[in-house]
Copies of this chain bind each other. A is one copy, B any other.
Amino acid sequence: MNEITVCIVDDNRDLRLALEEIIGMSDGYQCIGTMSTPKEAMEKIPKLCPDVVLMDINLNSDESGIDCVRELKPKVPRTNFMMCTVYEEDEKIFEALRAGASGYILKKTAPAKMLEAIKDLHEGGAPMSSQIARKVVFTFQHTPDPRNQQGIDDLSNREKEILELLSKGLMYKEIAAELYISQETVRKHVYHIYEKLHVNNRVAAVNRFFGREAL
């Protein structure tokens, strides 16, 4: 059967044990590891690859829970991170979501609701208050639409690679060095990229790359 595997990262021993027990006792959930520091989490979580990580947002450490998520998420992209916090600290929660977390719960939440939130998270939801959702929506609204990336898929892989470097502001010379090819080849690739995207300069190409409107 498919239990939801969970790890807990919290420097408070009592809370850690309490959470572990709640999860361990519940059907359909399994606690496969607990950690008390970001360092420990950085080591163990990539090996355990849990479905869900409950991460204290305020770890007493040189590294916050938020930073820990930022570093871990790319390494275990299929793991969902749920932040645990005592108060509704909007700014920190917002930060954590940006860093790669997908939801949060208050520590005072009742066990049943907590398990429900974990399930929700695991099934593709993002448990959060309506207020936080609004902040996220606001940012989202003022963001370019990635579907405006017209023509990007017509590019070959090499061309996409070059466009990416181009978009970082590198010169032909630098791109050539980076890819171990001649500057003239880069130039030619760029020439084709422009043709395919119907643009005629770097900035326009980069804007397309980032899904911003052409002119």
Residues of B within 8 A of A143 (CB): 139-140, 143
Question: A125 interface residue, CB < 8 Å from B?
Answer: yes
Given contacts A167-B203, A169-B204, contact A130 B140 (CB under 8 A): no
Residues of B within 8 A of A207 (CB): 167-169, 206
Question: A128 interface residue, CB < 8 Å from B?
Answer: yes
Distance A142 CA – B167 CA, assembled complex (angstroms) = 16
A130 and B141 within 8 A (CB)? no
B215 and A169 within 8 A (CB)? yes
Question: A102 interface residue, CB < 8 Å from B?
Answer: yes
A97 and B141 within 8 A (CB)? yes
Residue of B97, B102, B125, B140 near A97 (CB, 8 A) is B140
Residues of B within 8 A of A214 (CB): 169
Closest to A145 in B: B98
Give the bracket for the number of chain A residues in contact with chain B: 35 or more
Question: A157 interface residue, CB < 8 Å from B?
Answer: no
Smallest beta-carbon distance A113→chain B, Å:
13
Residues of B within 8 A of A136 (CB): 126, 133, 136-137, 140
B215 and A168 within 8 A (CB)? yes
Question: A2 interface residue, CB < 8 Å from B?
Answer: no
B129 and A137 within 8 A (CB)? no
Residues of B within 8 A of A169 (CB): 199, 201, 203-204, 207, 214-215
Residues of B within 8 A of A125 (CB): 129-131, 133-134
* A-B contact sample (11 more), CB < 8 A, given A125-B133, A171-B201, A210-B210: A125-B129, A125-B134, A127-B133, A128-B133, A128-B137, A136-B136, A139-B140, A166-B203, A167-B203, A168-B215, A169-B203
